[in-house]
Structure 1
Amino acid sequence: MTIGLTEEHRDLRDAVRAFTDREVTAQVVRAAIDAEREELPPFWKGLAELGLLGLHLPEDAGGAGAGLLELAVAAEELGRALTPGPFLPTTLAGAVLHRAGHTAHLPALADGSAIGAVALRPGTLRLTRSDGTAVLDGESEPVIGGQLADLFVLPARDGETTAWLVLPRTAVEVAALPSHDLTRRMAAVRAAAVPVPEGAVLDGLTDQDVLDLAAVLFAAEASGLADWATTTAAEYAKVREQFGRPIGQFQGVKHRCARMLARAEQARACAWDAARAADPDTDAAQASLAAAVAAATSVEAAFTVAKDCIQTLGGIGFTWEHDAGFYLRRAQTLRIMLGSTASWQRRVARLTLEGVRRELTVELPPEAEQIRAEIRAELQPATGLSGAEQRAYLADRGYTAPHLPEPWGKGADAVTQLVIAEELRAAGLRPHDMIIGNWVVPTLIAHGSPAQHEKFLRPSLRGEITWCQLFSEPGAGSDLAALSTRAEKVEGGWRVTGQKVWTSMAREADWGILLARTDPDAPKHQGLSYFLLDMSSPGIDVRPLRELTGEALFNEVFLDGVFIPDDMLVGRPGEGWKLARTTLANERVSLSHDSSLGSGGEALVEILANAPGQADEQRLTLLGQILCDAQATSLFGLRSALRAVAGAQPGAEASIAKLVGVEHIQQVWEVAVDWIGPAALVGAAPVGTERRSAHRDATWMFLNSRCMSIAGGTTDVQLNIIGERLLGLPRDPEPAPRG
């Protein structure tokens, strides 16, 4: 995995990783840690020759003419290797000087002949101007990489504002400081009546400009730190045994590692967005918001994941001999030097309250325009239709589910799917949402008989048939292989007896998909079969289940000797498990056109905006944290869409999005109720009454959101899946049969 998504970025990642494998050895890292004073690492010249120091600088200044996104790809890899030395401070100095339009020192920074460092805050440094001269006095805050720097970018108090200066090491005193991060050490810059030449003042550069650039690069390196810590913990958990078992089988360890991966992916996504937003063509407010999200998310994630890595390693992680502690020191140094996570969360909140939103769009290739013209022409007649006629027109032309193969869909690739979504939206057209049918139709296309195709596919796509799903049982929720509903073979079909639960739309649905056990003697995954059930069949008793909200969307379904004809079996007996997990290679690609904060995030912003007197520091901090999670979830979707457009394999984002998204939305509505206060507890519809969606208030949303971490696989099951499928942790062995 890497911050970048393109083939060029993957090539860059591979080149940097090959360099670190060769040059940044364990011996080199340990030599830096054990040294009495910091020295330039032996691979510094190689870094420069590889062009990494000037990736982001213009070609006429000796750089590669790429950008901060390419630099972020390199910084992530160097962070993963805990690369010693002043790469980060030198490239940050180059980025700041380039932003200020100060080009004199860029060639030396790009070729490695000069080492740069940036003080992020002035400390006691102050600039005194008098009679056309300027003098610098005081001492900076600790400067990362300052012990080796030849060139310093320094802030100084200048009356009521801050002046930014660039000065050579020879102009100031540099005092080495005992440093928390032993692989990249700090120094203080001291000045006593130091004359400041006129050309040394960086006019037009603001404190926020510098902090945002630092946030971009710190976040990129933090992503690499988090990735290393996650991988290290997972690999150790696979082989370290306790009580006769690998510790990765224990749910507590597995879930910790899964959450580490989730945080590492959040770090990567937010660092990526901040780096690409730093492009000069991006709106400045959006770029600053993206940097703030990365500062609040990526850097904190590295710190948290490094701590979790040590916890997973146990005693060995607490030893000086293991590198985990030095990754923790690096991550904590980034976090402290950049500024508190809470302060960055408040910045996210304030920018959002001021109306700044991050626009997340996919830039489609040139061939999309020809596709767009064809789609627009085909959709035009539908604008004159309404109701069932419009839905039928769209369904018959493949717009209900464009990703499905023809004639049921359009066999649309990722680019075509995104174009179709844009054109449907522009024309104000909405194809039928099949809901459960979105799972049924692909399964029937792949495994159904020609007669089943004829009977069910087009009516489902048109909305003439609605479906429910009869999978879960009182004793088999997430563990579908434990189903006990049985189907016994009789003449002409099957006789089904059992109970299903949590069945949405069972009272309204025309048909249901049913999993039942047809071979009780087969291994539990192999004895299931997949049926299509006419919900009007004799012997079906549907009983509404009142939910936490007081409504009854779920149902219990009792099956008492219900007859299902042979031609309503999909596939062959015993293939139910395989069919239940059917996915098509050409999967749906979607990208939300709503706010990147989601409806919940926007609701919280509105609540606080309408109560400005309550927007204290605590609430702003909490709002910022929630908005960062919302942004990260939207970025997962964007990165997945971009991978699909590029024809790349899916990343970890899709698997983690549900975990992060569910917990985010639950927090949103819990906080909303808190902020509304007592008014949220009165005036709602009485328990047990149906309410229109327009009248659902924050209290209803809070109650309803509790099902999200249960439905479709509980959070605990999702964490197991992430741990086992993405990190390769061992599965918990099934208990031996009794008796």
Structure 2
Amino acid sequence: MTIGLSDEDRELRDSVRGWAARYATPAVIREADEAKAEARPEYWASLAELGMLGLHLPEEVGGAGFTLLETAIVAEELGRAMVPGPFLPTVVVSAVLNAAGHTAELEGLVDGSTFGAVALQPGTLALAQAEGATTLSGTSSLVLGGQVGDLFLLAATDAAGDRVFVVVPRDRLTVTDLPSHDVIRRNAEVTVDGLALADGEVLALDAQRVLDIAATLFAAEASGLADWATTTAADYARVRKQFGRVIGQFQGVKHKVARMFGRTEQARVTAWDAARALGEEVPAEEASLAAAVAASVALDAAFQVSKDCIQVLGGIGYTWEHDAHLYLRRAQSLRILLGSTGSWQQRVAELTLAGARRVLTVELPAEAERIRADVRAELEPAKAKTGADRTTYLAEKGYTSPHLPAPWGKSADAVTQLVIAEELAAADVKPHDMIIGNWVIPTLIAHGNAEQLDRFVPGSLRGDIVWCQLFSEPGAGSDLASLSTKATKVEGGWKLNGQKVWTSMARDAHWGICLARTDADVPKHKGLSYFLVDIRNSEGLDIRPLREITGEALFNEVFIDDLFVPDDCLVGEPGDGWKLARTTLANERVSMTGGSSLGDGGEALVALADTLPGGIDAHQLTVLGQILCDAQSGGIMGLRTTLRSLAGSQPGAESSVAKLLGVEHIQQTWEVAMEWAGPSSLLGDQERTSATQMFLNSQCMSIAGGTTNVQLNIIGERILGLPRDPEPGK
């Protein structure tokens, strides 16, 4: 895993990882730990020779002319390896000076002859005017890298009480080494009394820009810390035995490590987005919002995951000899030095309430314009049509599901799908949404016979055939392979008997897809078959509505009693049901969420905050910021998945984590919205779009489509390689 996405990003990651393995050995890290004070690393020249200190700086000062993203990748890797030395404060100083237009000091920071040091909180340092000169007096807050730093970037307050930054060489300061919580990269403090500052030593750069740069690079390093902690915990959980079993089999451990992975992924994607934003030509508020999200998410993630790592390691994690405490100390130090998580969450909320939004878009290749012209011309006639005529036209032209192979779709690759989505929106035309049919039709195309394709696919694409899904049973929800509905072979077809539950649209559907057991003598997932059931014209179906906690009855239970299904409604061969139920086409659907990256719930909560009597208080502001951070990270995960598709790559870890985090985000959003709405939310007969109804409805989201516990098992087992429980339920 890495912050970056491209092949070049991964090559950079591998290069830094290889360098760190050679130079930041366990012995080197322990020497730094045991030393009484931080020393200048002997390998610093090697890091400079590789160009790692100046990736984000212009070529005329010895840099590589890249962006902050490449430096963030390096920071992540060096953080993962706990490399001693002031890389982080040095690149923060050089990035800030470059943004401020100070070039004189950059060459030394690039070639390794100058070390940077940073204090982001003012302490008691303050500027004053004396005899026409600007002076600096007081004591700084903790200075990161201060024990070895040569050039100090220090926060102070001006006469108005606002934060400003000054940059001063070490030889003009009184620097005192301090015992440090982080025993690998240590802190100092600076004391000055009436120091007259030279021209340019008070930076004209906005203080918030300085903080945003620092937040981005701090978040990148935090991502590396979190990744180490998660990987270490997972590796240990795969081999450590207790009570006669590997501890990774215990659901409590598996789920903890899976949640660690989710937090780590959030850290990674938000740091990536912040680094991109600071290198893009976007409004200052948008870039600052991205940095604030990264500061809110990544540093807290590293801290929490480091604590969880020690918990998974158990006693060995509590020893000084294990590196886990070094990562905990580093993560906690970053979090405190940058400023509290709550303060950054409040900034996210404040920027959003003021109208700032992070626009998540993709840059399509040149070929997209040729595709766009063809699509636009083909959609022009649809604009003049209405109702069923428009829907039929779009279906016949392949727009209902463009990713499907021709003639049912357009065999659209990722670029074409995104262009089509943009042009459909621009033309204000919407193809039919098949809902359950979106799962049925790809399965029929992949496994159905010619007669089934002709019979069901065109009508489904037009909306003439509505589908429901008869899968879940009272005794087989998440464990679908345990279903007991039985299909018995009879003359000309099959007789089905059993009960299905949680079947949405059963009273509206024309046809249903039904999994039933055709062979009880083989392993449970191999004895299932996939049937097409005529809902409206079959005897033996008793459909009963199930009233949900919302008061509505969208779900149904379906009792199946000697239901006859002809042979031509069996898809594939008997026993193929499990394989068919899991079918996806190689050419997957690609989408890019339109509208706000905060989602409908996030925007609704922002709108509600503006109506709170007396305004939003500090606690509510913090909660809002946290929720908006989760919304933003979910949007970024979707963007990264889309970018992988455009590059022809398989989905990354983002897609596996997105559902888990997205569901919990939505549930929290509407819970908070209901709380903020106050007593009025407790009135009965609420509108379907009210906070109350949305809160109640959202409770199903952690159950439907795979429960949260199942999602955690999938992340733990398929991504992190934790072992399955050989005796589930025991």
TM-score normalized by structure 2?
A: 0.98
DSSP-derived class of the 1:85 partner:
coil
Confirm or deny that 1:336 pairs with 2:329: no
CA distance in 2, matches of 1:585, 1:12: 30
Deviation at 1:158, TM superposition (A): 2.4
- Counterpart position of 2:107: 107
CA distance in 2, matches of 1:358, 1:553: 36
Deviation at 1:495, TM superposition (A): 0.3
Deviation at 1:612, TM superposition (A): 5.6
- Counterpart position of 1:670: 671
Deviation at 1:648, TM superposition (A): 1.7
**Which runs of structure 2 are paired with 1:352-363 in the superposition (5 Å)?**
352-363=352-363
Q: What amino acid sits opposite 1:261 in the alignment?
A: F
Q: Is the 8 A contact 2:121 2:337 kept in 1?
A: no
Among candidates 662, 682, 691, match of residue 698 of structure 1: 691
DSSP-derived class of the 2:53 partner:
helix
**Which runs of structure 2 are paired with 1:152-167 in the superposition (5 Å)?**
152-160=152-160, 161-167=162-168
- Which stretch of the first structure deviates more once superposed, 9-18 or 249-258? 9-18
Question: Per-residue displacement from partner, 1:204-246 (whole Å, max 9, x unpaired)?
Answer: x222111111100000000111111111101100000011110
- Counterpart position of 2:493: 493
Q: Is the 8 A contact 1:659 1:715 kept in 2?
A: yes
- Counterpart position of 1:182: 183
Question: Per-residue displacement from partner, 1:646-701 (whole Å, max 9, x unpaired)?
Answer: 1122111111111000000001111111111111111525xxxxx7xxx5311111
Q: Is the 8 A contact 1:519 1:527 kept in 2?
A: yes
DSSP-derived class of the 1:154 partner:
strand
- Counterpart position of 1:23: 23
Question: Per-residue displacement from partner, 1:42-101 (whole Å, max 9, x unpaired)?
Answer: 221111011010011111121111011111111111111111110000000001111111
DSSP-derived class of the 1:278 partner:
helix
DSSP-derived class of the 1:69 partner:
helix
Confirm or deny that 1:225 pairs with 2:225: yes
Q: Is the 8 A contact 1:176 1:187 kept in 2?
A: yes
DSSP-derived class of the 1:362 partner:
coil
**Which runs of structure 2 are paired with 1:365-444 in the superposition (5 Å)?**
365-444=365-444
Question: Per-residue displacement from partner, 1:503-553 (whole Å, max 9, x unpaired)?
Answer: 000001000000000001111011100011111211111000000001000
Deviation at 1:132, TM superposition (A): 2.5
Question: Per-residue displacement from partner, 1:145-172 (whole Å, max 9, x unpaired)?
Answer: 0000011112222211344222111101
Q: Is the 8 A contact 1:24 1:43 kept in 2?
A: no
- Counterpart position of 2:295: 295
- Counterpart position of 1:124: 124
Deviation at 1:280, TM superposition (A): 4.9
Structure 2's unaligned 5+ residue stretches are none
Q: What amino acid sits opposite 2:313 in the alignment?
A: L
- Counterpart position of 1:60: 60
CA distance in 2, matches of 1:42, 1:316: 31
CA distance in 2, matches of 1:570, 1:405: 19
Q: Is the 8 A contact 2:49 2:111 kept in 1?
A: yes
Q: Is the 8 A contact 1:546 1:553 kept in 2?
A: yes
Question: Per-residue displacement from partner, 1:467-496 (whole Å, max 9, x unpaired)?
Answer: 000000000001011000000000100000
- Counterpart position of 1:6: 6
Q: What amino acid sits opposite 1:702 in the alignment?
A: F
CA distance in 2, matches of 1:477, 1:157: 60
CA spacing shift, 1:414–1:311, aligned 2, 3 Å: same
- Counterpart position of 2:78: 78
Structure 1's unaligned 5+ residue stretches are 686-690
Q: Is the 8 A contact 2:468 2:509 kept in 1?
A: yes
DSSP-derived class of the 1:530 partner:
strand
- Counterpart position of 1:633: 634
DSSP-derived class of the 1:542 partner:
strand
Deviation at 1:18, TM superposition (A): 1.2
Q: What amino acid sits opposite 1:77 in the alignment?
A: E
Confirm or deny that 1:680 pairs with 2:673: no
Q: What amino acid sits opposite 2:508 in the alignment?
A: E
Confirm or deny that 1:585 pairs with 2:586: yes
Identity %: 66
- Counterpart position of 2:97: 97
- Counterpart position of 1:616: 617
CA distance in 2, matches of 1:580, 1:733: 24
Question: Per-residue displacement from partner, 1:621-659 (whole Å, max 9, x unpaired)?
Answer: 000000000001111101100111111221111111110
- Counterpart position of 2:270: 270
Confirm or deny that 1:573 pairs with 2:574: yes
CA distance in 2, matches of 1:157, 1:433: 58
- Counterpart position of 1:727: 720
DSSP-derived class of the 1:121 partner:
coil
- Counterpart position of 2:709: 716
Question: Per-residue displacement from partner, 1:334-360 (whole Å, max 9, x unpaired)?
Answer: 000011101111111111111111101
Question: Per-residue displacement from partner, 1:183-224 (whole Å, max 9, x unpaired)?
Answer: 110000111232211232222x22211111110000000011
DSSP-derived class of the 1:454 partner:
helix
- Counterpart position of 1:544: 545
- Counterpart position of 2:511: 511
Q: What amino acid sits opposite 2:7 in the alignment?
A: E
DSSP-derived class of the 2:524 partner:
coil
CA distance in 2, matches of 1:359, 1:193: 46
Q: Is the 8 A contact 1:684 1:697 kept in 2?
A: no
DSSP-derived class of the 1:93 partner:
helix
**Which runs of structure 2 are paired with 1:213-252 in the superposition (5 Å)?**
213-252=213-252
DSSP-derived class of the 2:141 partner:
coil
CA distance in 1, matches of 2:90, 2:682: 56
Deviation at 1:133, TM superposition (A): 2.1
Q: Is the 8 A contact 2:364 2:415 kept in 1?
A: yes
Q: What amino acid sits opposite 1:625 in the alignment?
A: Q
DSSP-derived class of the 1:184 partner:
coil
DSSP-derived class of the 1:137 partner:
strand
DSSP-derived class of the 1:200 partner:
coil
- Counterpart position of 2:643: 642
DSSP-derived class of the 1:499 partner:
strand
Q: Is the 8 A contact 2:612 2:676 kept in 1?
A: no
CA distance in 2, matches of 1:268, 1:135: 41
CA distance in 1, matches of 2:164, 2:384: 63
CA distance in 1, matches of 2:196, 2:510: 85
DSSP-derived class of the 2:597 partner:
coil
CA distance in 2, matches of 1:735, 1:629: 32
- Counterpart position of 2:535: 535
CA spacing shift, 1:263–1:736, aligned 2, 3 Å: closer
Q: What amino acid sits opposite 2:629 in the alignment?
A: C
- Which stretch of the first structure deviates more once superposed, 603-612 or 513-522? 603-612
- Number of aligned residue pairs: give it: 728
Q: What amino acid sits opposite 1:610 in the alignment?
A: T
- Which stretch of the first structure deviates more once superposed, 155-164 or 456-465? 155-164
CA distance in 2, matches of 1:348, 1:124: 27
CA distance in 2, matches of 1:650, 1:99: 35
TM-score normalized by structure 1?
A: 0.97
- Counterpart position of 2:554: 553
Q: Is the 8 A contact 1:518 1:528 kept in 2?
A: yes
- Which stretch of the first structure deviates more once superposed, 58-67 or 248-257? 58-67
- Counterpart position of 1:688: none
Deviation at 1:128, TM superposition (A): 2.3
CA spacing shift, 1:562–1:333, aligned 2, 3 Å: same
Q: Is the 8 A contact 1:218 1:299 kept in 2?
A: yes
CA distance in 2, matches of 1:325, 1:164: 32
Question: Per-residue displacement from partner, 1:317-341 (whole Å, max 9, x unpaired)?
Answer: 0011111110000000000001110
DSSP-derived class of the 1:97 partner:
helix
Q: Is the 8 A contact 1:212 1:292 kept in 2?
A: yes
Q: Is the 8 A contact 1:124 1:140 kept in 2?
A: yes
Among candidates 685, 700, 706, match of residue 707 of structure 1: 700
CA distance in 1, matches of 2:660, 2:339: 28
Q: What amino acid sits opposite 1:317 in the alignment?
A: G
CA distance in 1, matches of 2:208, 2:128: 22
DSSP-derived class of the 1:468 partner:
strand
